Amino acid sequence: MIDPSRTPVGVTAVRIGRTDLGAAIAVLDDESMAVIIRVADERPIRIRLHSVDAAAVEGDELTLLLDDGTRVTIVTPAAERLAGDLLARCRTLPEVTLALRTFGSRRAMSHRRDSAPADQRRFFAPLLEARRAAGAAPMPAAVIAAFDAQMLAQAVADALQEFVAERHAESGPARRALEAELEEIVEPLVAAIHALGGVGAEAREAVHDLRLWRSWAVQLRVTFETADRVWISLDAALDIAPTRR
């Protein structure tokens, strides 16, 4: 099946700054937009998607602002569709689950406690569920909203309380010591989640600003990487404090 977003689009005019280059054909792929001018030897002007900082449509004009300050205007009746296809490629959700190197690893075989695999799934579940929700979200603002910082931070706190309660039923020094230890371990993750919420709020306010989207995407990956590192320490601490029989 042919991907309609890869179909060449007829372009009435292309302007780089104030220089009019004439009619062209625009073609999108996964990494760039090639604008082929219909004169001379048709050598394409290739615009890398990661260099596009913003895209805006007014009438039949799609204007791109590049990271070096260059302004490219593409005049075509298909401006809205071309912009939508381009922005969808620029906002591809990063493969954050690849950062979870410890998730489901064979290290669980060496644990002192039988609950280790279940503990791991419980700890990572909120992040993985947010990733699934983001993958199904139809709009960029909804993608960002799926990783709600307040919800994720609360989920981490709830998981810690469950781990503690499973080891110490009653309040006391041992329980408070374990709570303090686990909270200290997850501090980097909580900080990463709050940072994700901050850049996410900015990106949702200006969904056409691709620089903000990329900043959010970078922080999203950092958050998953931090969760992976935190789990190693948390896992070791839970091994030392086994659940009550």
> Where are the domains positioned within the chain?
4-90, 96-240
**Exposed/middle/buried for residue 66 (C-beta within 10 Å: 0-12, 13-18, 19+):** middle
pLDDT of amino acid 75: 95
Q: Are the CB atoms for 13 and 82 separated by under 8 Å?
A: no
pLDDT of amino acid 5: 60
Give dist(CA 204, CA 144) in Å, integer.
Answer: 7
pLDDT of amino acid 3: 56
Domain 4-90 matching CATH 2.30.29.30: the answer reads yes
pLDDT of amino acid 244: 62
pLDDT of amino acid 124: 94
- pTM of the shown model: 0.83
First-to-final CA distance of the chain: 57
Stretches where the chain sits below pLDDT 70 are 1-5, 39-42, 104-111, 242-245
pLDDT of amino acid 157: 96
